Structure formats: C-alpha cells, structure tokens
Amino acid sequence: MASFKPTKIQVYPKLGEKVTQDTLYWKNYKAPVQIKEFGAVTSIDFSPVTPHNFAVTAFTRIHIYGPFSQEPVKSFTRFKDTAYCGRFRSDGQLLVAGCEDSVVRLFDVSGKVALRLFKGHTKAVHLTDFTSDRYQILTGSDDYTCRLWDIPNATELTTYTEHTDYIRCGVTSKLNRDLFITGSYDHTVKLFDARVEKSVITMDHGQPVESVLLYPSEGLLVSAGGRHVKVWDLLKGGQPLVSLKNHHKTVTSLALSSNGQRLLSASLDRHVKVYNTTNYKVVHNFDYAASILSLGLAPDDASIVVGMTNSILSIKHRKNQEDSKEIAGQQRRRPSYRVFVKGKNYVPKQDDYLVSKPVKEHLAKYDKQLQRFNVSKALDTALGTYIRFRKPEITVAVIKELDRRGTLKNALAGRDERGLSQLLNFIIGNLVDARFTPVLVTAAEMILDIYQSVIGQSPVVDRQLLRLQDLVKREIEFQKDLLEVLGMLDTMFASSLPRKEVPCSGHFEKERCKF
Amino acid sequence: MVEHGDIRVVHCGGSKINFRDPVITHDSRFLLCASGEAVKVFSTSTEECIHELRGHTGLVTGVLLRPSNHLQVYSSSLDGTLRLWDFTDGILIKTCVIGYPIYSFYASDKHENVIFIVASMPSDKRRFQLVAVHLPQSGDQMVEAQELSAVLSGVNPNPAAIAFGRGGEFIASVNDLQWSLEGGWNTFTCVACHPKDDCIATGHEDGKIRLWRNFNHKKEYTYSTLHWHHSTVSSLCFTPEGTNLLSGGVESVLVQWRYNQESERDFLPRLGGAITHITVSPDGSLFCTSHSDNKITIIQSCVKVSAVIQGLVKGDIRTDLMMDPRSKALVLNGKPGHLQFYSLQRDKLLYNLDIVQQEYIHESGLQQFEVVKAAFDASGSWLATVEERHQKAAELELNLKLWAFDEQTQSFVLNTTISAPHDAQITAMCFCQPTDSQTTLLVSTSKDGHFKAWQLAAPAHTEDEGPSWLCDFVSAYHGLVPECCSFSADGSLLAVVFQEVVTVWSPSTWELLTTLSQPPGAVSDLCFGRLSCSKYLLGTTASNLLCWNLLTCSLEWTTSMDVRRLVADPLSENMAAFCYQSGSTDLFVFKPSEPRPLFSHKAVCSGKVTQAVFAPREEMLESCEESSQWLNRSQLYFLTQQMDLMTFTTKAEEDRLLASSKQVSSSHWFSMTPFYLLLGKHRQQQQEHQDSDSSLWAERTALPQTSASMKELLQTPAHVLPSTSYLCSMFVQSLLISVSDARSEKAHAEEEMESEKEEEDSEEEMESSRSKPELAAAAATESDTPALTKAQARELRRVRKLDHSWLAGLLDS
C-alpha cells in the first residue's frame, strides 16, 4: 500500500540576482546610519590604530567619528575655506588636511589648533598624505605641483612640477619612505621617487584621474578616472593589467577590502561595486541615494562609510555574527520548546533496543482534501488568502493537479458571486505570469464555459470579466510587439554572424537557450 | 520456440502472474498462481519463488487445492489436461487428459473425485459449458477421463462468473449480457456464494454489489444493494467464515463489508493497479489481491500489506529495452509512471523507480503521465527520463528528468526536472559515452525540429545546491524533424538523423562536420560501430541497411532489407538487425566490416520486433562454434509484437541450466543460498560420517568425502561466505581424516593427563612429603567423578594442594 503522494509544487527559478557567498557577505550589514554633514563629503579616512576612528572631510570641517557613536568624537573647524583630504598618520596621532586656501594644516588628533601650517602652494590643495617614515608630508595642489614637506621644520623639501593639470589624488608607499604616486587631471598617474628629481614611472589613464590606490603588496596600482577603473602592474614598469568599465558615471573613490580579496569602487552613478581581485568580476553592488564622492572601509570590513554630494554620510556597520544567530534562535523557540525537545536529544546506548515509530507524514490541507477527492474544498483551501497572495505557485499547482485528475470543472463549478470573484481576481492577477499562463488559461476557459449562462447577473463578476478581457487583449498586443522585436534582432544577428562554409550546404543556427 | 541448429529462441521470464486468482495453501505458507505454462509456488513470507511446476504445454488456466488432500493441487490448462501436483516437493503426481481446452475449473468438498470444468461447446466454439468430470481412480501417472457430463451450458469462461455455494450444494453462474439469475438490469461481472448462508453476492459493471437471498423459491427472491465502487466490481470474495465480503475493482481499493451490517466497511486504498482477483486463505488470516499490473499483494487480515510479489509489467512498452549498467537489470517502463528494473538472471523484479511522482488516479479514460523515453549513461550514474501527457490534441505536457545515482541509498535520486524541454514530443535521447571526459552530455531530439544538448553545469554561484543540467546547445537542420541520434563510442562524434539526411556534429565545438544521405527513404535507426569497426556508421531505412565509412564519408555497402531494429553489442563489434519480411521477423548478426553475417535466423517470431537489447553476460561463455560465438559475451533479448520477452540460448547453456535446476529441485524447498549449500551439505556429511563411523568402525575405510564442501567453499565468491573465522574450524575439520569418537576421546584424555602431569611435576617439588596413598585416593576420586570439567578439577587440585601443605606442616611439627 503506497502512501498518498502529495501534490508536486513546481519550484520556479528565482528571478533577480543570484544569492552568492559574496552577496551574503556584503548584505550582512545593518541598516545604514545617516548623518547630515555641512557640505559634500569629499574624503573619508580610517585611523590605522584601534578603535579605528575615521575622519570625514566635509565643507570647512573635519569630523572624527568613533566606531559606535553617531556623534563626532572630535571636530576640526579652523578652516578658512573648504577642507580637503583629511588623512591620519600611521600611528593615528596626527592628521593632515589640505584646504581651498592653499594652506596645509597639521593637527594633533587630541588637540584643536593646527600644530603646523605649510604654506607654499598657490592654489587649493586636494591631496595630502604622510610618508611612511612619518616625518614628511606629501601634498598635491591645483597649481599642478606636488611637494614634500618636513614636519618638524614646516619647510618645503622638494617640488615636482611634472603634472600639467590639477593634482587631485595620490598615495604614499607604506613600505618605502621615498615612493609616492600622484594622479592628475592631465590623465596621468606618476610614480615619484624622492631620491631623484623626477618621476620614475608614468602611466596614462586616459581620463582625469580621480583616485589611486595601492595594493598592500604595492605591486599593483589601481587608478580610477572617468568611467574606468584600471589596474597597473608596477613591478612590470607600469603595464596596464585590467581596465574595468562597470560604472556609467565618473568613478570617484576606491577602497580595498581588508583581506585584499575584493576591490570596491564608488561612483557618481550612486553605486558602489565590489570586484573580485582574482578575476575582476563584479560580485556585488550597493545602491545609494546620491552621487558618491568618497568611500571608506574599516579594517575587517567592520563598516562601510560613504560620503555623498548631498552632504549625507552613510555608515553601515557589519552585523554581529553571534547577535544575529541568537536572535534567530530565540525567535524559533516557543514556550513549549522544552517539552517538545524532551527526550529527543537522547543518544541511545549500545545495547538499547530501538523501537522505530512510523514517521507520521504531514500533508498540506489541500492535499488532505485531494486525498478525500473533495475537489472544491481543495481548491478553496488553495485559494486561501495567504497562499493566494504569497505563494501563487501552490494555488496554480493545485489547479494543475485538479486538471490532471479531470475534475477541474467540478471544482470550479457551483461557486457563488464571492467565490467566483475571488477566483477571477486570482486569475487576473497571475494570468500574464509566464510560469502560470498555461494552467490559468485552461481554468479561465473553463470558468467562461461554466458561467456563461449567468453573465450579466452580477455586476462584480461582469466587471472582472471585462478586466480579464482587457488584460488578455493587452497581453496579446504586448506579445506581438515582443515577437516583432525578436524578429528584428534575429535579422541583425543573422547579418552579423560570419558566414562559415560547411562541407555540405547546411544552414545552422546557434543559440544559447536558458532553462 | 523455433529450433535453429545450436541456438534456440526461448521465452524468457516475466510471464503473467495475475492471469487467474492465486491460491493460498492451508498452512498459509505458500501461494500458488498460474503463470504462463507453469504454476509458480511462492512463499508468502519471503516473496521468493520456491518452485515452478512445469509440465503443461498450454496456458495454465486455473489452480485449485485438492479438496481431499490439501497438500496437493490441481491445475488446468488450455492443452486439455488436468494435472495433480505435490507443491511442497514440486512433483507431478498425476496427469488427467480431458481432451478439450479447459478455460476454468472448480471443485467442491461435496463432490469427491469430480471436477467441474468450463470448456467450449462442441457445436459453437464461442459458447461455453460447465462439465463435470469424474476423475478415474487408478494408480497410473497418465489417465484419461472418460466420464463427462454437462451441467450447465451457456456459461461465461471467466472463472469469476461461476461460484459454488455451501460446499457445492448449488452453482451460481452469471453471464455477460443476460442473467442466469433473473431480474438484473445491469451486466454482471462476478459472483460469490456465502459459505454458510443461502446468499449470493454479485458484482456489476455500474459498481454495485447485490446480495441475493431466498432464491430457492421461484420468483420470491429478494436482494439488497451495496454501492461504494464507482466503476466495475471486478472481484468478490467471502471470508471462509462468511463474516466479511471483500470486493475490489479498478479503484485499487480493497473494500471489506461486514456481512449483515453492510453499512460498516473497511478500506485498504492505493494497492497498485486495478484489482483483478481477490482470494482469502482457508483460515482467513491472509487476503491476497491480484492486480492488473502483474502483481500479487498479500495482506494480513485487511490491515497491513505483508508481501508484494511483482512480476514484469509488459502492458504498453514505450521506452526502449535498456540495460542498467550498474545492476545489469533490464529497464523498461512498467506501472504507470514508473520504470521497472528487472533482473534477467534471477527472473525477478528488482524495484520500481517512481518517475512521475504523482498520485495515480484510478479512473478509466483519464490521461496519465507516461514514461516514454529513458536513457542511461555508460557508467550508470545518470538516468534521463521523459514523461509526457497528451491532454488534448494541441496540448502536450512534457518533462525531462535527470536522475543521479546515489551510492548511499543505492538508487536514483532526482537531480533536475526540465519542464517543456521541447515544444513537441521527444523522439530520441542519448548520453555521450566518453570514458575520460569529465562532463556528461545528453542530446535530445524532438519533433519540433530541434535537437538540444544538455550539460551538467556546476552551480554558478550558490553552494547550497549541487550541479544541475542546463541546455548547452540548440540546433536544427533545414527545419527537418530529427528522428534519432547516436554518439560514437569515444564521444567525439554525434550523428543526428534528419529524415533522409544524417548529420554528423562535433560535440566539442558544435560544428556541423558533414552530412550523409542516401535517398530514398528516411533513416529510422542509426548506430555507430564499435571497437575495430568504429569508423562505420550504420543506418536503416524502410528498404535498406546502409553502412557509411566515416573516414571517406562515403557509403561502404548497402543491402536491401526492411530492418526494424538495429542494436549494437556494447562489448563487441557485433550488430543485430531485426528485419521484417512477409509477416515474420528475421535476425541477422553481423560485423560492419565483414560482408557475411555471423549468424542469421529466419522467422524468429511472427510480427515485428521493435525493441531489442544486448545484455552483457555475467560470465563469458566459451563456445567455439562460429555461429554461436556472438553469444559469448552478451545475450540478445527482444520483445515481440505480442509483448513476449524472448532470448537466444545455446545448447550448452541450456544443458547447464537444466542440470542446475535438477540439483535445485532435488533439495529442500527453502532457498538455496551458498551458505546453505556449504553448511547443509556439511551437516549431512557429518551425519553420514557418524553413521559410517559406527558401522565401519573397524575397517575405517570411509575417508571423509571432503571434495564437495571444499569445492563449495572454494568456488563461492568470498563476499557471500560467512566469516573466515567461522568457517575455518569446519574447513580444517573436513580436511582431517575421520577418526572414531572413542579414539578421539582417548586422545583427548591423554592430552589432559599430560597437562595434569606437568602441573603435578611442579607440585611435587613442593610436596615432597606427600604420601602415596593420598595420591592414589586423589586419583580415585578423580576417576570417580569423570563428569567434572577441567576447570573444576583444577580448582579441586588447588584446594587439595593447600590442604596438604598445611597438613604436612602439622605432621612435621
């Protein structure tokens, strides 16, 4: 005696993006904390030492935020004009920032007033950074020059005037105190060595360079400018390795995930894209409300901070693993849980005799009705509010099963106005879903056959029938249009395909089919 | 059966077991049922077939226990004989020649030595009569029944249409259209009589059961109606005490009605196919139902299915015959929505694989999902199946399912379901067979003019689900309908037939390499040569058998014959072509490279052969005759138009089979496992030894006959043997030269004495003062109590030793 085989609910492939390991990782952030700044957020820099505070440069202020509070733990407000590029030193003690008024200021993180002022640039300074020996500062300015300064004396050491346009980005080497890289609006990225007078390597990016980034190994350099993100191999003398074009507006900022496996790029098109650094494929994508100017990633990816043109700073903190698990576990446990698990986790001893209990198989409500051949009730159950709206595939599967049993007509017949309008509502809602169309068309035809004698008696049903008619008409039009487009595409493809001579006159078409 | 030199065509297993109602013996241990030309005896507990009672030369039409001796059974057959068997030993006791084909027969307690048979009327072959046969009392094996007397004419040949009431006091018979018992307005289908009461139950085509009473008085009969079945009641049966009435029909629900309280009923649903027969064991403890899908279900007192005896289902074979490469079982579609795996060696259904996985609705006229195509890959780790359902002319539901073999559960597990893989019916399917390649490829061709290649793709992103099958390539050729496809043995070429044109593709690049064509006539079957003949491609058209050479892309040879089926032997270069000629089918076995066929057999069977398969043998035959060499490695099975499964055997093989069957029949009824052979024989030998030892004690000539058991031990495969540690002692013992019990006892005693001596030697050093009389006394006690075990004796000695030392000390002081 075989047991009753439940109705097979067809599993339809999920539409939309596929769930990957990366998706799970990058989705595991809490809802963003949004902080309104005084102007566009142009730079975000994380302190290299714990607790990894980050400096946010926006308008004439630099705010330093802690990892938890939403209020700034510190703010530097003594700027005459818009501040740029607040950067921490590698020990997290000092902070340097450029300014629109061409003066570079050096702050103690605990103090308020600038420790040193470096004057010498003639235009706004957009790039500031500490060298790895911690005693020098690199600056780059809109006056086409980049300079090295000595911190203790506040004097200028060297000036490089190789760039022919604004210098807007740059980075110093963390391994070598003499190496630094600048990117300029003259489309070039230059690697300088402080021991020689001029640049060592020049790389042509092709667009005004907005951001540069060095890999931790410093063998690879990433530059962003225009819509492109390019990766260069420094060890091979600045050979281009990859060019990525995944944004549709200027890429403004780059960041590297802490383990170096993922590269993040932020753009004015309001997206942050995550690339796999082995194959440079986009593995994830974040959407933001406004164009992004700056991007910061905390060590261990603990938080993602994004600054936007609408002066909003968005901070996303990573979800705590234990927290999320505990909450989920608690939700599942009901008060009767202890009674339920009683004895379930008992491990039988070696010489225990196990009495196997027949597993009671659980049948869904509609299956129970189907088992008893109560076809109308089965359909009613499957049309219950929850199933109808949340899991239409179940309703459709039951209709299909009834059709297979040859009893769909019986199940559909004998309904009052309310029942019929409910049924019609479901059909109208799901008829144009390609997955359900074949089944629902059959059902709709049957309904029309059964109830054609009572058409005109109920305004509710009549209205719905008209809606159904309208829907079908629109769908047919739509399909026609689609077929036309398909035909056009086919001719285009056919003309673009290279004609290949087959030994015998064989016409063959090659198409990839997605199932 | 057609004889042809050394090689014969024989029926091969899978006969119907649901043709007539089975019989359960009095002790409920055996179930007997008619099966083709034999009666099969099954064990009700193990479902194992214990005996086949062979002897009839026609279809067996009934089995009945002999009323006077319940260890004997009668069987009737269309060959016009009644045979009496001893079913426990499987021996034919008596044959009674009637002379007319017997369609069914009955016996009753009241009429000793009388058998009622249903035979056709001499005047009109289509009308039947019930005839009483007086069995002649003689000791001969073969007797002829002379005393025949007609009882009732115009009866139904269906055995369910006649029943004997109250131990044979009256006969109830129903007829198709009219009614022997008047008053019916619906066609009767079956009848049953209450064993104690004057009550007759009849089943009708409208699903009603009527209980008739008071029929002894003319025209005063009364009846009551029971209605549960929604279509024809096909079988009715009263329990032996008459307390319950069992009924069954196409719904496959066994209904148990209480007699006199008919509103109460029990149901046992979902038994399988439609119920055709119901029988109850004589003590009423077991019910058994036969089903239309060649199955017998044994039910314990209407609550629990205790055993299922399943035969090969051969109703409507739509899939090809296939071999499962793993289990070497024949695979074909069986029950609706299932694939059956049938072991040809053991003539037993291994299991059914549920392909459709839907509740089967027992209703006639309902379109069901049917398995229409199936294919295995070379290693048997993948199975592809196609199921379809024609609802209306326009609508076709089609599912392609791919099953992976699960090592743990040893069965196929659904991996991918592709709904609507093609727009129209799938005409052919085949797996790529490369041995080295990692990827498995499946090609399906369809009537929609396309063929598609499916590939096992690793999950692109998620890791929680395993790999699944995706469409890799779609192609068509001039809008023609592809009919069949075939991969070359190394998987480097794919040939797809588009009506008259054979296209050859490269599966690695999906390039059309070449086209071959030889009009007129569409190519209907295609297959690549194997091994040394792999450069040949063979195709069949309605009038020709064609062979192309793939190296030159030209036709190598052609012969004109109407080949209906072309099969290639997977283990050799041989090909078998079944060609249809003037009403019967001929077989040719050939190598593509040789012009002369290896073997040809005219008129293998009547009608067409559309399905055939080469089954690899378990062990190679060593036939040196040229005509039968092609059967050495594999065996050819084919299905005739009448759905009979046939095969070819050589004489040598048949002789061997016969010998082994004799050996089996001589032994006891329980199953002949190698374990039994070993141990059972050994026990017998032991008994013999004991006997011989006692009788031939002095001569001692009877050396132990070790060869048989040794042979068993050495020839049985190791994995079926019990553990070596268990066998070792027995084996060693069997090698020893038999010695008398007394002698061995003596030796044993000596041994013991020796060990004692040793102990005593050590003791003696300490007990220097021990006196001799004491020793003698001790020895005396020891001899007095020979029943003491060694351990006890040792204990005793230790006690004694202690005592003595202490005593000695006392004496010294």
pLDDT above 90: residue B9: no
pLDDT above 60: residue A192: yes
Write out the DSSP string of B111-148.
Answer: STTEEEEEEE-SS-TT-EEEEEEEPP--S-SEEE---E
pLDDT band of residue A357 (cuts 50, 70, 90) is confident
Span B421-434, average pLDDT = 85
pLDDT above 50: residue A94: yes
pLDDT band of residue B546 (cuts 50, 70, 90) is confident
Span B34-60, average pLDDT = 84
pLDDT at residue B264, as a whole number: 85
Among residues B314, B319, B311, B321, the alpha carbon closest in space to that of B635 is found at B321
pLDDT at residue B777, as a whole number: 45
H or E element in which residue B790 lies: helix B790-812
Measured between CA atoms, how close is B469 to chain A, in angstroms? 9
Among residues B454, B503, B453, B452, the alpha carbon closest in space to that of B477 is found at B503
Tokens of B372: 């229409």
pLDDT above 90: residue A485: yes
Strands of B166-207, DSSP E = 170-173, 188-193, 199-204
Whole-angstrom distance, CA of residue A468 vs CA of residue A313: 49
Whole-angstrom distance, CA of residue A41 vs CA of residue A178: 30
pLDDT above 90: residue A166: yes
pLDDT band of residue B735 (cuts 50, 70, 90) is confident
Q: What is the mean pLDDT of chain A?
A: 86
pLDDT band of residue B784 (cuts 50, 70, 90) is very low
pLDDT above 90: residue A476: yes
Does the CB of A404 have a partner CB in chain B at under 8 Å? Answer: yes
Span B194-202, average pLDDT = 84
Among residues A261, A289, A263, the alpha carbon closest in space to that of A275 is found at A263
Q: Which of B180-194, B274-288, B606-620, B759-773 has the highest mean pLDDT?
A: B274-288
Span B550-574, average pLDDT = 85
CB spacing of B461 vs A507 below 8 angstroms: no
Nearest CB partner across the interface for A1, out of B305, B419, B510: B305
List all residues 6 or more positions away from B686 whose beta carbon is below 8 Å from its beta carbon: none
pLDDT at residue B177, as a whole number: 46
Tokens of A100: 């629109």
Span A19-39, average pLDDT = 86
pLDDT at residue A513, as a whole number: 34
Span B545-562, average pLDDT = 86
pLDDT digits (tens, 9 = 90+) for B469-513: 888 888 888 888 998 898 888 888 889 998 888 899 988 888 888
Looking at per-residue pLDDT, the higher value among B797 and B612 belongs to: B612
pLDDT digits (tens, 9 = 90+) for B323-367: 888 888 888 888 888 888 888 877 778 888 888 888 888 777 777
pLDDT at residue A124, as a whole number: 92
> Pairing relation of β-strands A104-108 and A114-118?
antiparallel
Whole-angstrom distance, CA of residue B303 vs CA of residue B266: 9
Q: Which of A235-244, B15-24, B732-741 has the highest mean pLDDT?
A: A235-244
Does the CB of B152 have a partner CB in chain A at under 8 Å? Answer: no
Measured between CA atoms, how close is B440 to chain A, in angstroms? 17
* A residues 409-428 lying closer than 8 A (beta carbon) to B: none
pLDDT band of residue A213 (cuts 50, 70, 90) is very high
Looking at per-residue pLDDT, the higher value among B420 and A13 belongs to: B420
pLDDT at residue B205, as a whole number: 83
List all residues 6 or more positions away from B459 whose beta carbon is below 8 Å from its beta carbon: B465, B466, B467, B468
pLDDT digits (tens, 9 = 90+) for B642-666: 777 888 887 777 777 666 555 444 4
pLDDT band of residue B586 (cuts 50, 70, 90) is confident
pLDDT at residue B697, as a whole number: 44
Q: How far is CA A445 from CA A409, A437, A439, A451, in A?
A: 10, 12, 10, 10
- Say yes or no: ipTM exceeds 0.95: no
Does the CB of A506 have a partner CB in chain B at under 8 Å? Answer: yes
pLDDT digits (tens, 9 = 90+) for B275-327: 999 998 888 888 889 988 888 889 887 678 888 888 888 777 788 888 888 88
pLDDT above 80: residue A258: no
pLDDT at residue A404, as a whole number: 86
pLDDT at residue A288, as a whole number: 92
Residue B123 zone, left/alpha/beta (φ > 0; ψ -120 to 50; rest)? alpha
- A459 exposure class (CB count in 10 Å sphere: 0-12, 13-18, 19+): exposed
Nearest CB partner across the interface for A513, out of B271, B361, B452: B452
Nearest CB partner across the interface for B359, out of A4, A506, A515: A4
Span B363-376, average pLDDT = 83
Which of A230-234, A379-383, B728-732 shows the lowest per-residue confidence on average (mean pLDDT)? B728-732
pLDDT digits (tens, 9 = 90+) for B666-710: 444 445 556 666 665 555 555 555 544 444 444 444 444 445 666
CB spacing of B476 vs A18 below 8 angstroms: no
Span B582-593, average pLDDT = 85
Q: What is the mean pLDDT of chain B?
A: 77
pLDDT at residue B121, as a whole number: 79
pLDDT digits (tens, 9 = 90+) for B466-475: 788 888 888 8
pLDDT at residue A504, as a whole number: 42
- Kindly give the residue spans of alpha helices, DSSP state H, lying in B220-294: none
At residue B200, what are phi and psi to the nearest 5 degrees? Answer: -120, 135
pLDDT at residue B658, as a whole number: 61
pLDDT at residue B684, as a whole number: 57
Looking at per-residue pLDDT, the higher value among B675 and A301 belongs to: A301
pLDDT digits (tens, 9 = 90+) for B238-265: 888 888 899 998 888 889 998 888 788 8
CB spacing of A510 vs B510 below 8 angstroms: yes
pLDDT at residue A2, as a whole number: 66
How big is chain A, counted in residues?
A: 515
pLDDT above 60: residue A224: yes
Q: Above pLDDT 70, what percent of chain B?
A: 77
Whole-angstrom distance, CA of residue B117 vs CA of residue B107: 9
Q: Sign of dihedral through CA atoms B415, B420, B423, B425?
A: positive
Whole-angstrom distance, CA of residue B723 vs CA of residue A94: 80
CB spacing of A18 vs B512 below 8 angstroms: no
pLDDT at residue B218, as a whole number: 66
Residue of B nearest to A3 (CA): B270
Which of A315-319, B222-226, B376-380, B517-521 shows the lowest per-residue confidence on average (mean pLDDT)? B517-521
Does the CB of B419 have a partner CB in chain A at under 8 Å? Answer: yes
Measured between CA atoms, how close is A416 to chain B, in angstroms? 28
Q: Which of A5, A279, A507 to mutate to test the interface with B (most CBs of B within 10 A)?
A: A5
Which of A238-247, B16-25, B134-143, B667-676 shows the lowest per-residue confidence on average (mean pLDDT)? B667-676
pLDDT at residue B464, as a whole number: 56
DSSP code for B166:
T
Looking at per-residue pLDDT, the higher value among A221 and A11 belongs to: A221
* B residues 363-392 lying closer than 8 A (beta carbon) to A: 363, 366-367, 369, 389, 391
| Chains A, B: CB pairs < 8 Å | 81
* B residues 751-780 lying closer than 8 A (beta carbon) to A: none
pLDDT digits (tens, 9 = 90+) for B64-78: 888 888 888 888 888
Residue of B nearest to A370 (CA): B359
Whole-angstrom distance, CA of residue B494 vs CA of residue B14: 35
Nearest CB partner across the interface for B512, out of A1, A403, A508: A508
